[in-house]
Amino acid sequence: MDKLSAMDCVPCEGGVPPLSEEESASFLAQIHEDWELVENHHITRTWVFPDFASALELANSLGAICEEQSHHADFNLGWGKLVAVIYTHKIDALTESDFVLASKFDAIER
């Protein structure tokens, strides 16, 4: 996890080839085991909490990372849970930066 979390997300301007299934699987092995690769299109992770306020606190922390990296996840926030979905919107697929962002999320202590 340390290697990816030390990197910065690279802004995508399109024209970048998406990761192959093998590349995605290799990157997936480098992040927290709770991340799930979905149809080699996006990665998702769910955090569970005892209340809404805790989920919101993590959402705000993760959102700050997104702003810092200029790479934005989609979030589904509800009572007792937060779901993050990450992919590169510009190409509607996965790139290395998606796994970098996930690794930075993993580094957050809660």
Tokens of 73: 């996840």
Residue 2: which pLDDT band, with cuts at 50, 70 and 90?
Answer: low
Tens digit of pLDDT for each residue in 35-74? 999 999 999 999 999 999 999 999 999 999 999 999 999 9
Domains of the chain, earliest start first:
2-8+17-106 (3.30.1360.20)
Q: Using the predicted structure, report yes or no on whether residue 34 has a pLDDT greater than 50.
A: yes
Place 21 in a pLDDT band, splitting at 50, 70 and 90: very high
Structure confidence at residue 1 as a pLDDT band (50, 70, 90): very low
Dihedral sign computed on CA atoms, order 105, 94, 7, 34: positive
Task: Look up the pTM and report it.
Answer: 0.93
pLDDT value at 30 more than 60: yes
88: nearest Cα among 15, 25, 4: 15
Mean pLDDT computed over every residue of the chain:
93
Cβ within 8 Å of residue 16, ≥6 positions away:
88, 90, 91, 95
Beta bridge partners of 46: 83
